[in-house]
Structure 1
Amino acid sequence: MAAPQPKGPITAEGINWIGLWTLYRREVRRFLAVAAQTVAGPVVTTLLFLAVFAVVMSRRGPPQPIGDVSYLEFLAAGLVVMTMAQNAFANTSSSLLIAKVQGNIVDLLVAPLSPMELVAGFALGAVTRGLLVGAAVALAMGPFVSFRVAHPGFVVFHALAACLLLGLLGILGGLWAQKMDHLGAVTSFVVTPLTFLSGTFYSVADLPPSFQAVAHANPFFYMIDGFRYGITGHADGSLAVGLAVMAGANLLLAVVSWRLMTAGWRLTA
């Protein structure tokens, strides 16, 4: 089913701002309605990760610092951006899939929203959830970890870029999936491995050269490394390459999402 063309209150600039705001607000209210699951749950899970790694490392003696950064601070920064990204993906992918399974995807298809406005509304909702969860996780870690915020610009850019990247990837996953099993496969075999193998829990510089090359080919590495650099001042990779990779990956996924939404690809279950 092809997505319909916009046919409603369009502004002089050609964007239905009221419709876009309405879709964005719906996406935000959707995850806030179950905040115990979508916000509090990730906070608890991330704190458990932090506690487990802190206990394991302490039993082997004082954790070795990475550069001039303590291991706990290094780990905490990676956990924050990992949690933001995973929740951004969950927001868009689950929203699209549930709408398809329940049949109310039709409400979106007949709304006066262009394909680009649909992509933007879903993606902005994902970014909002990711940033909210990230802020909650950082606050919860505050009593245990000292965040210095060495470079605020990198923190802001990589937080936004990470949430947008996974939000757009979630749109693709939600479009492709026809049932929950399909979405679970994307999470288990794409999102989780790329996240866990991106240097969240360890320094990529400690890997053998061949594995370092593999890690540097993973775009998730750059979102975690850049965010961690903004917090701690330590980076394992090239910051310039990281900025280019994040900008390019987001642009590519945005174009692909727009084209697929325009074509109406798998918009019905």
Structure 2
Amino acid sequence: MADQGYQVELGARRFGRVNWLGLKALAWREVKRFLAVWTQTLLAPLMTAALFLMIFNIAIGPRRGDVMGVPFLTFLAPGIMMMTVIQNAFANTSSSIVIAKVQGNIVDTLMPPLSGLEILLGYLAGAVARGTLVALAIGLGLMAVLQIVPAHPLAALVFIVLGAAFLGGLGIVAGVFADKFDQMAAITNFIVTPLAFLSGTFYSVEALPPVLKVISHLNPVFYLIDGVRFGVIGTSDSSPWLGLAVCSGATFGVCLLAWAMLRSGYRLKP
């Protein structure tokens, strides 16, 4: 009878029951992983964002004038914050998977009774938590130093979470695909960094030539940065609703690909 009960439990687990304990353990492991080195994962991004703002303010701030009706530094701050969020979210998931693959302990994640969706959600929990904490730290700094109070805080939070989930999912895809650290560095340098820098972080896309403007609107990160800019300063280059639709679709698509890779064991199982 005990064996029969165990078989029923397995059947229920296989056809839909969520392994909440395993999901919670994986998510908490990912959160503790970046909290253990908080000076590198939380304090360092805050310092980097502050340096970006200081350097741009010293170099071109006084001569740049207003952008979209606000001072240049106020315009720049939300873009710097979102760029930092997505870079850290990507780094959290991609580094976790690549390090586990290189060290040979990725089996510790694959062996427990976790479905592909549960593994995906566990990794994304760490990315979203890290991205949100980074955004909170930078946001508090902006309020204290520049007196920037979010115009639409809920909208800003939605785009921050979407951005962290989107780049967290992309980090999973990259981490599964890469087998070496140099492959991951190439993905970061040639895909993630250009997406972040060429998305209106440091400028309004309305100032670009028509061709570059069209290309910028094909970049999902543009809508993430534009959405956070709307949430923080109340102005944006495009409709926040359009940005929400594009970002939601892009996040769903990337996470669907990540789920398929985790579910099949692509480049994870020997």
Percent identity for Structure 1 against Structure 2? 45
The aligned counterpart of 1:49 is 52
CA contact under 8 A between 1:100 and 1:268: conserved in structure 2? no
Runs of at least 5 residues in structure 2 that lack an aligned partner in the other structure = 1-8
Cα distance in 2 for partners of 1:146, 1:104 equals 46
Give how far 1:63 is off: 3.1
Task: Work out whether 1:14 is the aligned partner of 2:9.
Answer: no
| Higher mean C-alpha displacement, 101-110 vs 12-21 | 12-21
Q: Does the CA-based 8 Å contact 2:142-2:148 persist in structure 1?
A: no
Q: CA deviation at 1:156?
A: 1.5
Q: CA deviation at 1:196?
A: 0.2
- Between the aligned partners of 2:202 and 2:39, the Cα distance in structure 1 is 26
Q: What is the match of residue 32 of structure 2?
A: 29
Looking at both structures, which has the greater relative contact order when contacts are Cα pairs under 8 Å and sequence separation is at least 6? 1
**Structure 1 position 11, deviation (Å):** 10
Is 1:93–1:173's contact at 8 Å kept on the other side of the alignment?
Answer: yes
Partners of 2:85 and 2:151 in 1: CA distance: 20
Instruction: Name 2:6's counterpart in structure 1.
Output: none
Residue in 1 that maps onto 2:126: 125
- The worse-fitting range, judged by mean Cα deviation, of 131-140 and 75-84 is 131-140
Over residues 89-116 of structure 1, what are the superposed CA-to-partner deviations in whole Å (9 max), with x where a residue is unaligned?
Answer: 0000000000111111111111111110
Per the TM alignment, residue 223 of structure 1 is displaced from its structure 2 partner at its CA by 0.3
Q: Which moved more, 1:210-219 or 1:151-160?
A: 151-160
Please report the RMSD computed on the Cα atoms of aligned residues, expressed in angstroms.
1.9
Q: 1:86 maps to which residue?
A: 87
Task: Kindly provide the amino acid, as one letter, of the partner of residue 54 in structure 1.
Answer: N
Mapped partners of 1:208, 1:24: distance in 2: 44
User: What residue is the counterpart of 1:220 in the other structure?
Assistant: 221
Contact 1:78-1:200 at 8 Å conserved across structures: yes
Q: Which moved more, 1:84-93 or 1:12-21?
A: 12-21
Helix, strand or coil: the match of 1:143?
helix
- Greater shift in the superposed pair: 152-161 or 165-174: 152-161
Structure 1: which amino acid aligns with 2:41? T
- C-alpha displacement of 1:45: 1.0
* 1:91-106 correspondence runs (5 A): 91-106=92-107
* Structure with the larger helix share: 2
Q: Could you say which residue in structure 1 is the equivalent of 2:145?
A: 144
Partners of 1:178 and 1:12 in 2: CA distance:
32
Alignment CA distance shift 1:166-1:75 (3 Å): same
Shift of 1:66: 1.5
Q: Secondary structure at the match of 1:142?
A: helix
Greater CA deviation, 118-127 or 136-145? 136-145
Aligned length: 262
Q: Aligned partners of 1:221 and 1:34: how far apart in 2?
A: 30
Q: Which residue of 2 aligns with 1:3?
A: none
Q: Which runs of 5+ in 1 are unaligned?
A: 1-5
Q: Tell me how far 1:153 sits from its aligned partner.
A: 2.6
Higher alpha-carbon Rg? 2
SS in 1 for 2:70: coil
Give the 5 Å matches for 1:167-246: 167-246=168-247
Cα contact 1:11–1:17 (8 A) shared by 2 = no
Contact 2:143 2:149 in 1 (8 A): no
In 1, the alpha carbon distance for the partners of 2:269 and 2:98 equals: 9
CA distance in 2, matches of 1:268, 1:76: 43
